[in-house]
Amino acid sequence: MKRKNWKQTLRRVLEDPTHKRYFLVHDFLALLTIVSIVAVVLETVPSLGKYHTVFLISEWIAVIFFGAEYIARIIITKPIHKYTFSFFGIIDLVSILPTILGIGNLTFLKSARAFRIMRLLRLMRLAKLGREGVNDDKGLGIISLNILIYAATLLIALLVTGTAMYLVEFGHEKFSSIPSAMWWSLKVFLGSIAVAQPDTTLGEVFYVVARFVGMLLLGLLVGVVGNIFRSVMFSGKK
């Protein structure tokens, strides 16, 4: 009976917004996600090599907590494969596995941690505000959620394309670190033509993909602005 109650409590902490520790846990995981992503990105900057120990410690701290969350979700999910083979289950696993197994410096897999932002947005307080924002006189909840989702999508796109270019164009002066590759990606997203050209065939493929992603982000931005305008203009007319 106690074991069952323990599992129920764990499930509520992770999945029930009415539990008193729900937001505390997910706010902490959100902060840890952001810190770990920043650490993975900065670790590739040559001039910051002297902070390798700091990055290594922060990496293991993140892996310990993310690993604990992964195990906890396996415990509370029945059947187990419903989580382990889900999109976020796979993302959670591949983002911690390289460090646990000591498989070199698989930066791309660790940067997959960026996708956790989308799940954390759904689970955190602002997602709750977004659901309740429909009843808000000024639609502030909907506006906040729209802006956050777009910002998270842009960040993920920059991280994925930037990390990919950093890996496939390794040694290229303009892609010497993930931050510099992300800056290149941002300029490509904005439609700039005056950007460094890739040296490899795979790099050229990612260049085309980045152009396409930039067009999608522009379309998404138009939709977000439209939703915000509609929320502001018509929320008071119901």
Whole-number pLDDT of residue 134? 43
Q: Which residue has the higher pLDDT, 37 or 184?
A: 184
Q: For the chain, how many structural domains are there in total?
A: 2
Closest CA to 177 of 50, 64, 49: 49
Q: Count the Cβ atoms, other than its own, within 10 Å of residue 158.
A: 24
CB atoms near residue 16 (< 10 Å): 12
Residues 6+ apart with CB under 8 A from 60: 99
Q: Are 86 and 116 within one domain?
A: yes
Whether residue 175 is found in the same domain as residue 135? yes
Domain encompassing residue 219: 124-238
- Please give the residue that has the higher pLDDT: either 109 or 128: 109
Q: Are residues 88 and 178 in the same domain?
A: no
Q: 114 and 4, same structural domain?
A: yes
- Domain boundary pick from 69, 90, 122: 122
What pTM was computed for the model?
0.74
For residue 55, which of 44, 68, 67 has the smallest C-alpha distance?
A: 44
Q: Is a pLDDT exceeding 60 seen at residue 135?
A: no
Q: Are residues 23 and 99 in the same domain?
A: yes
Span 75-83, average pLDDT:
90
Give the sign of the dihedral formed by CA 206, CA 211, CA 213, CA 217: positive
The residue type of 83 is: Y
Question: Worst-scoring range by mean pLDDT, 119-128, 150-159, 188-197?
Answer: 119-128
Confidence of residue 39 (pLDDT cuts 50, 70, 90): confident
Token pair, residue 90, equals 């796979």
